[in-house]
Amino acid sequence: MKKLYGTGVALVTPFKRDGKIDFKGLEKIVKHVVENKVDYLVVLGTTAETSTLKKEEKKNIIECVKDINHTKLPLILGIGGNNTEDIIEKIKDINLDDFSAILSVSPYYNRPSQEGIYQHFKSIVNNTDAKIIIYNVPKRTGSNILPDTVIRLANDFDNIIGIKEASGNVLQSYKIIEKKPSHFSLISGDDFITLPVILGGGDGVISVIAQGFPQEISKMVSLAKENKVQEAFSIFYKIINMIELIYEEGNPTGIKTLLSVLNICNSYVRLPLINGTSLLKKKIQNHLNFINQKII
């Protein structure tokens, strides 16, 4: 497959008031981002609240997104966890024909050593032909995949094609970019540092805010890839406060609140997450009005 470039979107899972999946809302989201120039979609990532989805619900979400996307954009599927054997079984149990790669988070809670992380991904790769994108998000997993471990995995396994790097540490991204093989993509997993990561040689972003502003984020990323720095930052500075707002009460609570203000889907989440407050909704609405007056 070609390297992943540009703007990927980490899709949410919309819910109805009764907690059931809102497939009409999911359809609106997918159409919204596909029609507004994003480059690929990430299904069942962290932002999709996968930890509270049942097996059958996940299958239904996959089929829904596939039907709506209709092969327009590449699809990435989240399959990760802290039980290596279970992940291997899940990968074997699913038809991956319509997916370009699997996004697999580093084991959480167990807090493995760097060698443990290496052996975890080695075991996955040795049991599938699927392309693997590593997902490093220390604030959720409790452990950080260090650059040396990333480079070791990238050099040892051709099927490990990239990393979604969400440590929030630009220097860590740069250390990977400096030494990574040519087939390997460094993808920002943090909306705040997407531009410095791309300008330093990164390949794009798997974004949360792009769900609300797909056209703007796609344009910003494209400008950065073209080294049009001022133009890219002019877009970023107009939405930086909104990025802060969507994380003020956690993810995906914030982005769902924004999507509800945009009349794309409801803002309901599942416990142990709670819905965004009325204050957050008001802040987002007010800032959206400001953005609509200013943004390109």
Active site residue 164: yes
Active site residue 238: no
Number of other residues whose CB lies within 10 A of the CB of residue 240: 14
Q: Which of 165, 184, 194, 272 shows the shortest CA–CA distance to 4?
A: 184
Q: Which of 240, 205, 211, 208 shows the shortest CA–CA distance to 223?
A: 205
Q: Is 100 left (phi over 0), alpha (psi -120 to 50) or beta?
A: alpha
Which member of 40, 118, 135, 268 is catalytic?
A: 135
In three-state form (DSSP H/G/I as H, E/B as E, the rest C), the secondary structure along the chain is CCCCCEEEEECCCCECCCCCECHHHHHHHHHHHHCCCCCEEEECCHHHCHHHCCHHHHHHHHHHHHHHHCCCCCEEEECCCCCHHHHHHHHHCCCCCCCCEEEEECCCCCCCCHHHHHHHHHHHHCCCCCCEEEEECHHHHCCCCCHHHHHHHHHHCCCEEEEEECCCCHHHHHHHHHHCCCCCEEEECCHHHHHHHHHCCCCEEEECHHHCCHHHHHHHHHHHHCCCHHHHHHHHHHHHHHHHHHHHCCCCHHHHHHHHHCCCCCCCCCCCCCCCCHHHHHHHHHHHHHHHHHCC
In contact, 153 and 134? CB cutoff 8 Å: yes
Which member of 66, 164, 256, 283 is catalytic?
A: 164
Active site residues: 135, 164
